[in-house]
Chain A
């Protein structure tokens, strides 16, 4: 279904070896306090091109807050965020998004009254806004139309392009959520529970899509579905009460006694 994971050609063709060595997105000691509560407590993690880095943890562990800080929706109380070696901690969310940090939302965040194609086209337009070119019709903007169609192809929604987005099934809307993110041509994907509320068939379709996407992107995956996480993740970070208690390969995480005690034990 997902034939093209790269919606756009990569912006900088970094040699694979370098991509392995240096992180595309790096968080160092990221902390967020809400009054007396420390929601995220000194979290450091690296996202590499071609890798799915899963963040797991119980409800309230600070996973969504972490994504909100990385995407720029929420300012960090302290800590540093680097994207491609540049400190982007003070950048606004739109600026980070234009630079290549894309995100999806846990609660489906689409334009329900617009067509599926327009949802993606509008997202793609962010890269070439040309707000002053008022005489040009948005419907004829080749750049954003091409990006939107490619994103819909990648997410397997090409057949639904003309439908109002609000009429898609729940799974379809989750796919659209990802497609809208892809349409902005990101290099980093911050995915907040993309599998939430999905059936078995939709889940396996989404996992196949993620497996395709990780080839061209650095993916951060926050997810509750443990089977899915252990199937797709290259690295897993476990958060408890805002802090990281372990960060390792799936196999070692599975065998980690403190993780079993704090998280997996509780769940089973």
Chain B
């Protein structure tokens, strides 16, 4: 168990990181700023899955469905005239949450590998709805012509978008940190470790798991909103199982079981993907970045089974031992 002092110290690094992120635009080139925004959006997405995988112990392989639905609803709700930031974001989050209620209510009746397969199936279902119907542009997807704005906040402005994304990341992190220390969060952790005992103690665990699933889906929808606004376009690949697998890999890379691990994993994954696609760095191999990315991840997992977050423990152990 953490002591009070440790709990207070735990806030120092995230607050310092947030301060740096808020100060960064002053020194960043547009390309780097874009990369930070992309990474931060994926960090929100990874954090949302961490609530399921790391906290509650529910491994979902269909989490991209909620990202994609949030992104699509953002474009559809903006229409040709554009919409207000809060209004469009609320619709995106609401739609993702609604789909999460539906998927969660059905998939949470299964466990373990069956849960993985059922969440994958529901995500593929959503993928093919967008891919194979004329509902939203089919396989080509849609463009977001007018980005949402509210009063002085205009998300078409890169600087505004940057601050909106960083603020969302900070708020998501804070929300999950508060949830994890609450009775709700402790109950979710108990369900991860021993659901049978939680039921024997008197917890109706299904409701807890569904609540976690819907919160995670809603936050993924929020990440989808930001991604659609950043890219100015959406396509069905956002809901594909590749994307669900990628966010799971982020957690594995960073280290499952901590919010920091999710953020670090999102950073590591996005940077790796970016680096391995650089012609200047890898020459002809850059075209085969998926291959090099795969090998790199295998290497990481083999050397750091606890994820990047395990590095620190390894160093402190080496120092003491």
Residues of A within 8 A of B (CB): 71, 73, 92-95, 97-98, 102-103, 105, 109-115, 117-118, 122-123, 125-127, 129-139, 141, 144, 162, 180-181, 183-184
Contact = CB atoms under 8 A, between A and B. Distances in A.
B1 A131 contact: no
B13 interface: no
Interface of B: 1, 178-179, 181-187, 189-190, 193-194, 196-205, 207-208, 211
A127 B182 contact: no
B182 A134 contact: yes
Contacts of B182: 133-138
A126 B185 contact: no
Given A109-B194, A112-B193, A122-B186, A129 B178 contact: no
B197 A110 contact: yes
B186 A125 contact: yes
Contacts of A123: 197, 201
A180 B197 contact: yes
A135 B181 CA distance: 8
Tell which of B179, B196, B211 has the most Cβ of chain A within 10 Å: B196
Contacts of B197: 105, 109-111, 123, 180
12 contacts: A94-B203, A109-B197, A117-B1, A122-B186, A126-B198, A127-B202, A129-B183, A133-B182, A134-B179, A134-B182, A138-B185, A184-B202
Given A105-B197, A131-B211, A139-B1, 4 more contacts: A115-B1, A129-B187, A131-B184, A134-B182
A97 B208 contact: no
Given A109-B194, A135-B178, A94 B204 contact: yes
A36 B48 CA distance: 46
Contacts, number: 102
Contacts of A71: 200
B204 A92 contact: yes
B201 A138 contact: no
A110 B194 contact: yes
A138 B181 contact: yes
A138 B183 contact: yes
B24 to A, nearest CB: 30
Given A109-B194, A111-B193, A97 B183 contact: no
Contact of B201 (A115, A131, A137, A184): A184
A162 B200 contact: no
A184 B203 CA distance: 11
B183 A130 contact: yes
Nearest to A117: B1
A127 B201 CA distance: 9
A136 B1 CA distance: 17
Contact of B200 (A97, A114, A132, A136): A97
Nearest to A130: B183
Identify the 6 closest CB pairs spanning chains A and B, nearest first.
A126-B202, A97-B202, A98-B202, A138-B186, A123-B201, A126-B201
Given A136-B182, A138-B185, A138-B186, A162 B1 contact: yes
Contact of A125 (B178, B187, B205, B211): B187
Contact of B181 (A112, A117, A137, A162): A137
Contacts of B181: 137-139
Nearest to A185: B202
Tell which of B184, B197, B198 has the most Cβ of chain A within 10 Å: B197
Contacts of A115: 1
